[in-house]
Amino acid sequence: MVDNSALDDIPGTTIFTAKKSQQGYHLNQFCTSLMKEANRERFKADQRAYLDEWPMTEAQKQAVIDRDFNALLALGGNIYFLSKIFATDGLSYVQAVSTMTGMSVADYQAMMLAGGRSPDGWRSVKERAAAGLESHDNATAESTEVGTADSTEES
Protein backbone atom coordinates (compact mmCIF):
# COMPACT_ATOMS: atom_id res chain seq x y z
CA MET A 1 0.00 0.00 0.00
CA VAL A 2 1.36 3.35 -1.02
CA ASP A 3 1.43 5.76 1.90
CA ASN A 4 0.65 9.28 0.66
CA SER A 5 -0.06 10.77 4.09
CA ALA A 6 2.90 13.13 3.74
CA LEU A 7 1.46 14.47 0.47
CA ASP A 8 -1.89 15.04 2.16
CA ASP A 9 -0.15 17.09 4.86
CA ILE A 10 0.65 19.94 2.44
CA PRO A 11 -2.00 22.57 3.21
CA GLY A 12 -4.26 23.96 0.50
CA THR A 13 -2.76 21.60 -2.03
CA THR A 14 -4.11 18.59 -3.91
CA ILE A 15 -1.48 16.25 -5.32
CA PHE A 16 -2.75 14.61 -8.49
CA THR A 17 -2.00 10.97 -7.79
CA ALA A 18 -3.00 7.93 -9.87
CA LYS A 19 -5.99 7.54 -7.58
CA LYS A 20 -7.11 11.13 -8.18
CA SER A 21 -6.56 10.54 -11.90
CA GLN A 22 -8.97 7.59 -11.82
CA GLN A 23 -11.51 9.57 -9.81
CA GLY A 24 -11.38 12.50 -12.22
CA TYR A 25 -10.88 10.63 -15.47
CA HIS A 26 -14.10 11.64 -17.24
CA LEU A 27 -14.03 15.17 -15.79
CA ASN A 28 -10.53 15.70 -17.14
CA GLN A 29 -11.34 14.08 -20.49
CA PHE A 30 -14.31 16.46 -20.79
CA CYS A 31 -11.83 19.32 -20.22
CA THR A 32 -9.60 17.92 -22.96
CA SER A 33 -12.51 18.07 -25.39
CA LEU A 34 -12.55 21.87 -24.99
CA MET A 35 -9.30 22.09 -26.95
CA LYS A 36 -11.45 21.98 -30.11
CA GLU A 37 -13.15 25.21 -31.13
CA ALA A 38 -16.33 23.43 -32.25
CA ASN A 39 -16.64 21.81 -28.81
CA ARG A 40 -16.04 25.11 -27.03
CA GLU A 41 -18.89 26.63 -29.00
CA ARG A 42 -21.25 23.75 -28.21
CA PHE A 43 -20.28 23.87 -24.53
CA LYS A 44 -20.85 27.62 -24.28
CA ALA A 45 -24.20 27.35 -26.07
CA ASP A 46 -25.60 24.79 -23.60
CA GLN A 47 -23.25 23.77 -20.77
CA ARG A 48 -25.61 21.30 -19.13
CA ALA A 49 -26.40 19.49 -22.39
CA TYR A 50 -22.70 19.25 -23.23
CA LEU A 51 -21.79 17.97 -19.76
CA ASP A 52 -24.55 15.37 -19.94
CA GLU A 53 -22.70 13.75 -22.84
CA TRP A 54 -19.98 12.75 -20.37
CA PRO A 55 -20.20 10.01 -17.70
CA MET A 56 -19.31 12.47 -14.91
CA THR A 57 -20.83 12.61 -11.46
CA GLU A 58 -23.50 15.19 -10.79
CA ALA A 59 -21.17 16.89 -8.30
CA GLN A 60 -18.49 17.21 -10.98
CA LYS A 61 -20.97 18.64 -13.51
CA GLN A 62 -22.33 21.16 -11.01
CA ALA A 63 -18.84 22.25 -9.96
CA VAL A 64 -17.99 22.88 -13.63
CA ILE A 65 -21.12 25.00 -14.06
CA ASP A 66 -20.27 26.86 -10.82
CA ARG A 67 -16.60 27.25 -11.89
CA ASP A 68 -15.76 26.05 -8.36
CA PHE A 69 -12.16 25.07 -9.01
CA ASN A 70 -11.40 23.99 -5.44
CA ALA A 71 -14.36 21.60 -5.60
CA LEU A 72 -13.15 20.36 -8.98
CA LEU A 73 -9.68 19.64 -7.53
CA ALA A 74 -11.30 17.66 -4.74
CA LEU A 75 -13.40 15.74 -7.29
CA GLY A 76 -10.36 14.59 -9.26
CA GLY A 77 -9.76 17.54 -11.55
CA ASN A 78 -6.20 18.47 -12.46
CA ILE A 79 -5.31 22.11 -12.90
CA TYR A 80 -3.82 21.69 -16.37
CA PHE A 81 -7.03 20.02 -17.54
CA LEU A 82 -9.22 22.51 -15.67
CA SER A 83 -7.33 25.28 -17.49
CA LYS A 84 -9.25 24.31 -20.63
CA ILE A 85 -12.45 25.46 -18.87
CA PHE A 86 -11.12 28.88 -17.94
CA ALA A 87 -9.41 29.23 -21.32
CA THR A 88 -12.84 28.68 -22.86
CA ASP A 89 -14.09 31.49 -20.60
CA GLY A 90 -11.23 33.71 -21.82
CA LEU A 91 -9.60 33.91 -18.37
CA SER A 92 -5.87 33.87 -17.66
CA TYR A 93 -4.22 31.55 -15.15
CA VAL A 94 -3.92 34.43 -12.66
CA GLN A 95 -7.60 35.28 -12.93
CA ALA A 96 -8.69 31.68 -12.47
CA VAL A 97 -6.07 30.66 -9.92
CA SER A 98 -6.85 33.57 -7.63
CA THR A 99 -10.42 32.26 -7.23
CA MET A 100 -9.02 29.21 -5.41
CA THR A 101 -7.25 31.29 -2.78
CA GLY A 102 -10.20 33.19 -1.38
CA MET A 103 -8.52 36.42 -2.50
CA SER A 104 -9.74 38.93 -5.07
CA VAL A 105 -7.83 39.00 -8.36
CA ALA A 106 -6.44 42.42 -7.41
CA ASP A 107 -5.26 41.26 -3.97
CA TYR A 108 -3.77 38.10 -5.46
CA GLN A 109 -1.89 40.06 -8.12
CA ALA A 110 -0.64 42.47 -5.45
CA MET A 111 0.64 39.50 -3.41
CA MET A 112 2.48 38.15 -6.46
CA LEU A 113 4.04 41.53 -7.24
CA ALA A 114 5.21 41.75 -3.64
CA GLY A 115 7.10 38.48 -4.05
CA GLY A 116 4.38 35.84 -3.82
CA ARG A 117 3.14 33.70 -0.96
CA SER A 118 5.88 32.80 1.50
CA PRO A 119 6.12 29.08 2.24
CA ASP A 120 6.43 29.94 5.95
CA GLY A 121 3.35 28.65 7.69
CA TRP A 122 2.25 26.75 4.57
CA ARG A 123 4.48 23.69 4.77
CA SER A 124 2.29 21.38 6.79
CA VAL A 125 -1.30 21.03 7.93
CA LYS A 126 0.02 19.90 11.32
CA GLU A 127 2.33 22.93 11.51
CA ARG A 128 -0.57 25.24 10.72
CA ALA A 129 -2.74 23.65 13.36
CA ALA A 130 0.04 23.95 15.95
CA ALA A 131 0.51 27.61 15.06
CA GLY A 132 -3.21 28.22 15.46
CA LEU A 133 -3.59 29.18 11.80
CA GLU A 134 -6.75 28.49 9.92
CA SER A 135 -6.73 25.07 8.32
CA HIS A 136 -6.87 25.33 4.57
CA ASP A 137 -7.80 22.35 2.52
CA ASN A 138 -9.84 21.21 -0.41
CA ALA A 139 -11.36 18.18 1.23
CA THR A 140 -15.00 19.26 1.51
CA ALA A 141 -16.12 17.21 -1.45
CA GLU A 142 -13.37 14.64 -1.17
CA SER A 143 -14.42 13.44 2.26
CA THR A 144 -17.65 12.01 0.87
CA GLU A 145 -16.00 9.88 -1.76
CA VAL A 146 -15.01 6.27 -1.97
CA GLY A 147 -11.31 5.58 -2.20
CA THR A 148 -9.99 8.72 -0.57
CA ALA A 149 -9.85 7.45 2.96
CA ASP A 150 -6.12 8.12 3.02
CA SER A 151 -6.75 11.86 3.17
CA THR A 152 -5.80 13.38 6.48
CA GLU A 153 -7.02 16.82 5.55
CA GLU A 154 -9.59 18.40 7.77
CA SER A 155 -12.73 19.86 6.34
Please, which of residues 98-137 interact with another protein by CB under 8 A? 98, 100-102, 108, 111-113, 115-119, 122-124, 136-137
* CB of 92 or CB of 144, closer to another protein: 92
Task: Report if residue 62 touches another protein, rule: CB under 8 A.
Answer: no
* CB of 119 or CB of 132, closer to another protein: 119
List the one residue out of 2, 18, 20 whose CA is nearest residue 138.
20
Question: Would residue 147 be called left, alpha or beta, if left means φ above 0 and alpha means ψ between -120 and 50 degrees?
Answer: left
Which distant-in-sequence residues (6+ apart) come within 8 Å of 70 by Cβ?
100, 138, 140
* CB of 61 or CB of 84, closer to another protein: 84
The residue within the footprint of another protein, chosen from 49, 52, 65, 94 (CB under 8 A), is 94
- Alpha carbons 20 and 27: distance in angstroms, whole number: 11
Task: Report if residue 18 touches another protein, rule: CB under 8 A.
Answer: yes
- Alpha carbons 26 and 153: distance in angstroms, whole number: 24
Residue 92: DSSP 8-state: -
List the one residue out of 16, 36, 33 whose CA is nearest residue 24.
16
Task: Report if residue 28 touches another protein, rule: CB under 8 A.
Answer: yes
Q: Catalog residues that contact another protein under the rule CB under 8 A.
A: 6-7, 10-18, 21, 24-25, 28-29, 31-32, 34-37, 40, 69-70, 73, 78-81, 83-84, 87-88, 90, 92-94, 97-98, 100-102, 108, 111-113, 115-119, 122-124, 136-138
